[in-house]
Every structure is written in structure tokens, then in C-alpha cells.
Homo-oligomer: A and B are copies of this chain.
Amino acid sequence: MDGQDRRRRPTISDVAAAAGVSVKTVSRVINGEPGVRPALAERVLAAVAELGFRRNALASGLRSGRASATIGLIIEDLANPFYSTIAAAVAKVARGHDTHLITVSSEEDPALERRQFAELCQRRVDGLIIVPAGSDHAYTRSEAELGLKMVFLDRPPSGILADSVVVDNAAGAAAGVADLLAAGHRRIGVITDSPSVYTARERLAGVRTALAGAGVPYDDALVRTDVADPGRAARAVAAMLDGADPPTAFFTGNNRITVGAIQELCRRGHDAALTGFDDFELSALMPRPLTVVGYDVRELGRAAAARLFARIGGDASWPSETVVPTRLERRGIGS
């Protein structure tokens, strides 16, 4: 309650005074070092308990030069289930290494990403997992040279050589479109985010590969890019359906777009086939059939964290790119 006249937090030297020993002896006891007579150790432990002493991990880390037992995770937005799933997976791996996780959101702002990066460096995190917002990460180089371990997640870094873990975007999109083609569709509406986004670019490339593989020409009128939210996605679907020679199927580039497409198709009761990249929560309960290009999001986080701790543990091999596979899943009620 009253924050003014509370007592000072006890230090190791308070404990030493209370137990009538030197600070070094206290240090030995609380760190389980050998060479302390049991009787003394007991007195020290009693003093520790009585004073409610807790070792200051920051001071301890400073003196001993040990790693800080902290890693950082820079993502776009923790409120997004995709990122929170990753954060949970990373935290779980970190716990296995007795390491804490500081998660920060870059809000897709490269400048903020840089600031967050600098702050985490000042805290002397042992490593960082970064979902890059910016497109140039040369600024991380000096820290990497000073021993900061980094793993880039979901998108590869540019301007620096470092580990990365990404989804098999092109192959997944190609498989999704190939599936629609195999079902006989020849006019497939493609709706995706801006090609400035790595994943959107890769997925669109996969779409082209699949079309080419089936000898179906790529038709610009059937491709809509720069769609960033469900509302816009719904309007894009509407526009294509209202156009001349409408598509009989849609391929959507991420789950926000997929949700927008579902809303518009359900609203019209239209039965166009729909395949979307990314699975999402409760996709199985959607009121119409759809197919998703799914992958294990936790695996993304897990693989990145595993890579990071391998580096922290001393792995000095050449940077690697880990690719997480995708698979087609039938979703929605009635599928």
C-alpha cells in the first residue's frame, strides 16, 4: 500500500551482516559453491530467509559476464494470432533454456523496428528473433559482429547474412492453385497483398508456376494485388464476380483476404471454389467449403528458437534457411 517508507531491498551484504560472515561466503552459499561448512551455510540460509533476500540477477550477470538469459522477439503485432502463436512457441523453447523472452511489436514500422532493436541490444539480450518489417537489415551487422545472435522469421533478411526460417510459400501456393486446376477451374481469381511484401511475392510466383505448369495463361484481369484487409478483399471478390467472364474459383493470398472473400461469397450465396493461403482459427466451422494452404505456425517459432539457441550455444556454421512445409487442408462445413 504505502510505497514511501518501505524498507530497502536486502543485499548480499545485509545477509552477510545478519549471518556474521563475509559477503563472499554468502555468495558461495547462494550459488551452491563447495567449500562452506554446513553449519555456516545453514546460518546464511536462515538469514536469507529471514530478510527475504533475492539475488539481483542484473548485478550478478554484470559481474560474472554471463549471458543475460534473455532473448528478444520483434514481431509486427502480438494481438495477431499468427504472431502470438509464434511468440508462445518461442517462449516455450526459451523456457527450456532458462531464458526469458521480451516481445516487442514493430507495428510494421521499419523505424520502430530499428529502435526496438537498439533497445534490446542495450539490454544485452543474448539473441533476437526478428520478423522483419523493414527491407534492409544491414544496420544489424555491427551488433552481429559483437556477438549478437539473430534469426529472421517468416521473411529472409537483406543486407546481412543470417539464419532464417520461412514457410514454403511458392510451393504451397503452387499446390493450392494446382488443386483448383485439377478440379477443372480455368478462370481463377487471385487476390493478394502488395508484392512489396515478401510472402505475397513468393506466393504469387507460386501461382504463376502452377498456371504455367497447366498451360493456363496468366490473366492480369484476374489478379488483384495490394489487398490488405478483409473489407478490401470482399470488394475485390465482388468486382471480379460482377465483371465480364467472372472467375469460377478464387485463390486468396493470406487468411485476412480469405475471410473477406468468404464473407462476400456467403453474402451472395455464390458457389465459387475458394482456396486460401494460411489456415486460421475455426476455419473448420466456416459456413461453406474452402481449402487452405496450411502449415504449422508453432513450428515456425520452434524452429527459429531452436536455431537461435544453437547459435547462442556456439554453433558457428554457415547461416541456413529453414523451410517449413505446407499442406492442403479441406475446411469449412460441408467440405
A residues whose Cβ falls under 8 Å from a Cβ of B: 1-4, 6-7, 9, 52, 54-59, 61-62, 68, 70, 77-79, 81, 84-85, 87-89, 91-92, 95, 100-105, 118-124, 142-143, 145-147, 161, 259, 262-263, 266, 280-282, 285-287, 298, 311, 314, 316, 318-319, 333
Q: How far does the alpha carbon of A95 sit from the alpha carbon of B74 in the complex, in Å?
A: 13
Bound together, the chains give a CA A104 to CA B87 distance in angstroms of 10
Q: Tell me the number of copies of this protein.
A: 2
Roughly how many angstroms separate A78 CA and B90 CA in the complex, as a whole number?
10
**Closest B-chain residue to A123, C-beta based?**
B57
Cα of A286 to Cα of B88 in the assembled complex, Å: 27
Report whether B285 and A57 are in contact in the complex, using a CB–CB cutoff of 8 Å.
no
Q: A56-B122, A79-B298, A102-B102 are in contact. List 13 more A-B contacts (CB 8 A).
A: A1-B316, A3-B147, A3-B316, A4-B316, A9-B147, A52-B143, A54-B121, A54-B122, A56-B124, A95-B105, A100-B119, A101-B104, A285-B285
Bound-state Cα–Cα, A146 to B100, Å: 23
Contacts of A298 in B (CB 8 A): 79
Check B101–A102 contact: CB distance below 8 A.
Answer: yes
Of B55, B61, B95, which one neighbours A58 at CB under 8 angstroms?
A: B61
Contact A101 B103 (CB under 8 A): yes
**CA gap between A61 and B122 in the complex, in Å:** 11
Partner of A100 from B88, B104, B142, B262 at Cβ < 8 Å:
B104
Are A6 and B146 within 8 A (Cβ)? yes
A142 to B91, CA, bound (A): 28
In the complex, the answer to whether B104 meets A91 with C-beta atoms within 8 Å is: yes
